[in-house]
């Protein structure tokens, strides 16, 4: 029973492209998060949202934006992809019962 779904497992994009990473949760959670994970740097928070149309910057928001038009969907947008945005991207949602993660999207920017 998949609860947090990320639309793509692997993605290859060209430098300068606009990239959309989609995340959908079916647990009616209010809180949703986008992380990136790089070797040696661990998980770093990009953006999060506590409600529809709300967004807050995390630790590394530069070069990214987000959209939350519906409670179940949280999108991460790379306005102009660059090679240093090559990474594993993880979406999560949370409640008082903890965090649930999606399976991740491995993005390569060439």
With respect to other proteins, which residue has the nearer C-beta, 84 or 96? 96
Q: How many residues bind other proteins (CB under 8 A)?
A: 22
Q: Which residues pair with 2 in a beta bridge?
A: none
With respect to other proteins, which residue has the nearer C-beta, 26 or 79? 26
Which residues within the stretch 31-90 sit at the binding site for other proteins (CB under 8 A)? 33, 42-43, 45, 48, 58, 88, 90
CA 43, 40, 105, 22 torsion-angle sign: positive
Cα 90 from chain centroid? 5
State how far the Cα of 51 lies from the Cα of 60, in Å rounded to an integer: 20
> Which residues form the interface with other proteins (CB under 8 A)?
4, 6, 33, 42-43, 45, 48, 58, 88, 90, 92, 94, 96-104, 106
């Amino acid at each position: 029973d998949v609860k947090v779904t990320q639309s793509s497992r692997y993605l290859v994009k060209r430098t300068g492209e606009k990239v959309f990473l989609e995340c959908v949760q079916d647990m009616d959670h209010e809180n949703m998060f986008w992380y990136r994970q790089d070797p040696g740097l661990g998980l770093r928070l990009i953006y999060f949202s506590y409600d529809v149309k709300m967004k807050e910057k995390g630790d590394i928001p530069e070069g990214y934006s987000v959209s939350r038009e519906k409670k179940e969907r949280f999108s991460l947008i790379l306005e102009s992809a660059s090679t240093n945005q090559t990474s594993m991207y993880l979406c999560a949602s949370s409640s008082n019962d903890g965090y649930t993660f999606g399976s991740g999207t491995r993005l390569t920017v060439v």
